[in-house]
Amino acid sequence: MQNIREHRQAAQRKRVELTSLEQEINEDREAHLESVNMHLERLLDKVDQDLALLRHMDYHYRTRNMSARARI
């Protein structure tokens, strides 16, 4: 992500005149990258939630297994 940002900033510094079509393509690319980034952040948040749930389930079943062994 850092490389993309640096490349974008370097391109802005060049101040090359773009046609309206090229500007529209660049804006679409920016919008697409932002939406992909937001999508990946949501997926990462979901994975973090799933991981927390799995840790809780692991703890729950370990304690249940230990108590069952203690009864035997």
User: Does 60 score more than 80 pLDDT?
Assistant: yes
**CA–CA gap between residue 71 and residue 4 (Å, rounded):** 59
The number of domains in the chain is: 1
For residue 42, what are the domain limits?
Answer: 23-72
Q: Is residue 4 part of a domain?
A: no
Q: Is residue 15 part of a domain?
A: no
Write down the pLDDT at residue 14.
67
Residues 30-55: tens digit of each pLDDT = 999 999 999 999 999 999 999 999 99
Q: Is residue 5 part of a domain?
A: no
User: Does 56 score more than 70 pLDDT?
Assistant: yes
To the question of pTM greater than 0.85 for the whole model, the response is no
Q: Are 18 and 26 in contact (CB under 8 A)?
A: yes
Q: Is residue 32 part of a domain?
A: yes
Mean pLDDT lowest among 6-10, 24-28, 30-34: 6-10
